[in-house]
Amino acid sequence: MKHHIPNFLTLCNVLCGSIAAVFAALNKLEYAAIFVLAGIFFDFFDGLAARWLNVKSEFGIQLDSLADMVTSGLVPGIVMFQLLNMSQTGGWNMTLDPDMINGNGEGMFSSWLPFLGFLIPMASAYRLAKFNIDEDQLDSFVGLPTPANALLILSFPLILLYQGNDALNQIILNPWVLIISTLLSAYLLNSPIKLFALKFSNWGFKENAFRYIFILVSAVLLLTLSFLAIPIIIAFYILSSLVSQWGASNSQS
């Protein structure tokens, strides 16, 4: 019976991701963000439950990646589609009006640029497939994990909605900023950069110094900068991983 618990949590991730995808398609991006966060919560605790209950399985690993593909792969792609569309239309269309789609190619689909956002689900699928067959990513990651990437993309509409001003909104909704963000996201997901995982084999500070520092700095940034902190935290995550890797290589040499 206990081996079903982690799988049930993973299926809750799928449910949250499916609901988030609907909200993202309707351009209700704040609600999409809420359900992505809930999905990531279940994604964290399904692995934790599997380790605690000692019921890790190949089936659970595959199911987990399929769930991540929905919540942390597809949804960020739809969100980026919406953001790129906003950059073209110059506004926040809260509903999808069928009259905007017409035979003359006018309206929201007059430009193919928004579809560039679906590079994110493509890159996420490629990353998750690689992760499933890579036995070296047990205590660390190679490339940015899909949940971290999803948080990065979802932070853009949250900043627009709750912390935006004219200057910041113009930056975020600049087409070139969004194009570069999409390409960078796709690269980081499959980059050779080795990033530490927030998995504690023990609670010792010496062995987990970078993890504790990262959690502390992230908490301070979130409390002071709110959603603006998320891109900074992702950058700090990558930078601290590079520093940790450099320190480890120096100590071995």
**Residue 103 lies inside a defined structural domain of this protein:** no
In this predicted structure, the answer to whether residue 214 has a pLDDT above a threshold of 70 is yes
Range of the domain at 159: 1-94+110-133+141-193
Q: Is residue 61 in a domain?
A: yes
- Does 13 share its domain with 129? yes
One domain for residues 64 and 77: yes
Please list, in sequence order, all residues whose beta carbon lies within 8 angstroms of the beta carbon of residue 37, skipping any fewer than 6 positions away. 151
Residue 102 within a domain: no
Judged against a pLDDT cut of 90, whether residue 204 lies above it is answered with: no
Model pLDDT, residue 203:
62
Q: Which of 49-53, 100-104, 177-181, 248-252 has the highest mean pLDDT?
A: 177-181
For the ranges 28-37, 125-134, 181-190, which has the lowest average pLDDT?
125-134
Q: What is the pLDDT of residues 69-116, one digit of tens each?
A: 999 999 999 999 999 999 988 766 544 444 444 444 444 445 789 999
pLDDT exceeds cutoff 70 at 52: yes
Helix/strand/coil for 3: coil
User: Is 156 found in the same domain as 209?
Assistant: no
Q: What ranges in the chain are assigned the alpha helix state H?
A: 4-25, 29-53, 58-68, 75-89, 119-133, 146-162, 166-172, 175-189, 209-225, 229-252
Give the total number of structural domains in the chain.
2
Last residue of a domain, one of 149, 172, 193: 193
CA distance 93 to 81: 13
- Residue 207 confidence class, pLDDT cut points 50, 70, 90: low
For residues 230 and 161, state if they share a domain.
Answer: no
pLDDT at residue 99 in the model? 44
